[in-house]
Copies of this chain bind each other. A is one copy, B any other.
Amino acid sequence: MQKRPPRQPLSQQQVTDLLTGHDIQPTQQRLEIAQVLFARDQHLSADDVLKQVNQDTARASKATVYNTLGLFAAKGLIREVIVDPSRVFYDPNTCEHHHFYNVDTGELMDIDADRLALMNLPAPPTGTVADGVDVIIRIRNQATA
């Protein structure tokens, strides 16, 4: 529910702290990948990250990118967004928030949590505990009459 400042590129030190603060060993590849993810508020696929990490000299393999994104998500540093059947998006914004998903363009936009209230959240079935709530508002481009 807390407000989050607009994202801005992070210094090497800031990224390192981000990782260590989440119990993640800051290796060269992980720093590169985090740098890309946290450069700005955005929703990137694994392949997007792979391409961006490897477009200049520094490199990380496909396996490392997938492993790292999974690790970051498991450690709560980033969030997986499952909205498109063909690929997972990774979201540097872990504050509670929701999404518009444009099914025509594939564009994904944040909705601040305080702009949308959920009432009467039903309790999880016995034997299970809630892990998170995703609200996705699917939108399409207005038909040009």
Residues of A within 8 A of B (CB): 80, 82-85, 87-88, 100, 102-103, 109, 111, 115-122, 124-125, 127-142
Contact = CB atoms under 8 A, between A and B. Distances in A.
Given A116-B118, A130-B137, 14 more contacts: A82-B83, A85-B88, A102-B128, A115-B122, A117-B118, A117-B120, A118-B119, A124-B139, A127-B141, A127-B142, A128-B142, A130-B139, A133-B137, A134-B138
B138 A125 contact: no
B137 A122 contact: yes
A124 B83 CA distance: 17
A138 B131 CA distance: 5
Nearest to A104: B128
B118 A118 contact: yes
A100 B124 contact: yes
A139 B134 contact: no
B120 A119 contact: no
A121 B137 contact: yes
24 contacts: A82-B83, A85-B87, A85-B88, A100-B124, A111-B122, A116-B119, A116-B120, A118-B118, A118-B135, A119-B119, A124-B139, A127-B141, A128-B140, A128-B142, A129-B140, A129-B142, A130-B139, A132-B138, A133-B136, A133-B137, A133-B138, A134-B136, A135-B135, A135-B136
